[in-house]
Amino acid sequence: MPRQRLYIDESGDHTVAAVTPANWDKRYLCLFGCSLEFDYCGGEFQKSFEDLKRTHFSVEMDEQVILHREEICRKSGTFACLRDPKANRAFQEHLLRLVRGAKFRAFAVVIDKQASQNRHYGLADSNPYHISLAIMMERYCGWLNFTRQQGDVMAESRGGTEDKQLKAAYKSICTYGSRWREADFFTRSLTTCEIKVKPKAANVCGLQLSDQLAYGARRRILEEHGISKPLTGFEKELADLVEAKYNRHYYDGRVAGYGKMFIT
């Protein structure tokens, strides 16, 4: 049976403080996940990902290049070479080719933190990150069950306290289920009831892929709901490529509710 791993990263602020209707950047949190087959991710895809880095960035022999969208946008540190427009476009085109050819299934959940902060969705708390995780897990495990696969989940570390809370929320989903699904819906497709949490420094290519795609996924979903302006330039090119990767209804191809979820 193929083994999958869902790599999760976020775009936006996961806290509930200072949420105002006018500030959509603070109000809407996106969890983006890309599922890659385990052996493929550790072999062919990782090689292509490291080739991308070696082609465009130069570091000392004992150092690693870790792609982080915010640093790339600032063109700081390792990514200062991208201040050259030609070098920047060459990197963008290489990343677009990599994403186009990559074999992954995408899931995105955008949650309106202001509208949902008093709803628990079957969980013990109303943490927007945990609610989004439960909703994503319903779709991910639904896909695994339908295709008779198994898998696990890895998320990027957000700090000691947040990581402990995330692990507890994940275990709760496996133990008690969610608002819409019983626990066995999750446990029959998951290989473990423990979520893996890794920092950026671990250089996990699946997490870096999600980091590159999460912002565009959030903007595209908010654009589709008339909340943010349309994407332009490279971010639009990247978001356009992801459209073909989203999980969708097997028979009619619907993405809404299967690969993209907007929660209010």
Q: What is the pLDDT of residues 125-183, one digit of tens each?
A: 678 888 999 999 999 999 999 999 999 999 999 888 889 999 999 999 999 998 889 99
Helix (H) or strand (E) holding 47: helix 46-56
Residue 256 belongs to a domain: yes
The reported pTM is 0.93
pLDDT of residue 125: 63
pLDDT band at 120 (very low <50, low <70, confident <90, very high): low
Helix (H) or strand (E) holding 137: helix 128-147
d(CA 175, CA 194): 11
Residue 138 belongs to a domain: no
Residues 23-55 have pLDDT tens digits of 667 889 999 999 999 999 999 999 999 999 999
Instruction: Supply the range of the domain harboring residue 221.
Output: 3-122+196-263
Residue 232 belongs to a domain: yes
Max Cα–Cα distance, the chain, nearest Å: 53
Partners of 262 in beta bridges:
110
- Asked whether 8 and 31 are in contact (CB, 8 A), the reply is yes
Tally Cβ neighbours within 10 Å of residue 231. 18
pLDDT of residue 170: 93
pLDDT band at 233 (very low <50, low <70, confident <90, very high): very high
Count of domains in the chain?
Answer: 1
Kindly tell me if the per-residue pLDDT of 243 is higher than 90.
Answer: yes
pLDDT of residue 17: 62
Residue 202 belongs to a domain: yes
pLDDT of residue 159: 84
Residues 83-101 have pLDDT tens digits of 999 999 999 999 999 999 9
Residue 151 belongs to a domain: no
